[in-house]
Amino acid sequence: MANTTSNTSFATPIFYDPSKHQHILAQIADIHHDCVIHDAMPLSILDVSNRSKLDQYWLTKHAEVEDGKRVIVLQFVTDASGNEELAGLGSLHVPGEETGPFRSWIEKLMVSPRHRRKGFARRLMDKLEEAAVERNAGLIQLGTESGTPAAEVYPRLGYKAWGVLPRYCVSPKDGSLMDEIHFYKDLRDE
């Protein structure tokens, strides 16, 4: 189902398919870069100007999708001229451990700064939750830095905070240590 916002339309988020979507890894890396630069969010890589490091990171995630240990969800938009662009993505890690086969982790939720405030984060999260339930991994966990806009989004999506890890990660902005707040949502009974 397509929706329209101003001169842009967008379809339902889709699952990344390694056999069809490897060519968009560069767009994924671009969004990763833009989110770190725009928001100073510690998204696994401090020096996002190092393009080879970003590309290698996403090639690794591509391989995890091929191995069935990760799901990546993509949100595309189409402008009035018919040009398609990746607006955002989410990543769900499903480790499949014997002692917790019902657990999964949302590790990335990134929306391009150009496409925010259009409901894409909620749409991507809905699709990631759908993937977790389909894989019987409905106890979903995630973490984000305290005091950020992202920390305000997850409670609105039904996630419950369960703790803060002090000085958990390095800020790409100034190298200071940032606290991380952890959330969970249990979809196993739904």
Domain ranges in the chain?
3-186
Q: What is the pLDDT of residue 1?
A: 45
Please name the amino acid found at residue 39.
Answer: D
Q: What CA–CA distance (Å, rounded) separates 180 from 169?
A: 7
CB atoms within 10 A of CB 45: 17
Q: What is the pLDDT of residue 177?
A: 92
Q: What is the pLDDT of residue 7?
A: 60
Q: In the chain, count H helices and then E strands.
A: 5, 9
Q: What is the pLDDT of residue 39?
A: 78
Rounded mean pLDDT for each run of 10 residues along the chain, 190 residues in total: 58 94 94 85 77 92 95 92 92 91 94 91 96 96 88 93 92 87 90
**DSSP structural state of residue 145:** E
**pLDDT tens for each residue of 49-96:** 888 999 999 999 999 999 999 999 999 998 888 888 999 999 999 988
Tokens at 94, concatenated: 């499903």
What is the dihedral angle through the alpha carbons of 71, 132, 10, 67, rounded to the nearest 10 degrees? 10
| Residues paired with residue 86 on neighbouring β-strands, in sequence order | 76
The torsion angles phi and psi of 130, rounded to 5 degrees, stand at -60, -45
Closest CA to 8 of 90, 81, 111: 81
The pTM assigned to this predicted structure is 0.89
**DSSP structural state of residue 33:** H
Q: Which CATH number fits domain 3-186: 3.40.630.30, 3.90.1300.10, 2.30.29.30, 3.30.300.30?
A: 3.40.630.30
96 φψ region: left (φ > 0), alpha (ψ -120 to 50), beta (else): left
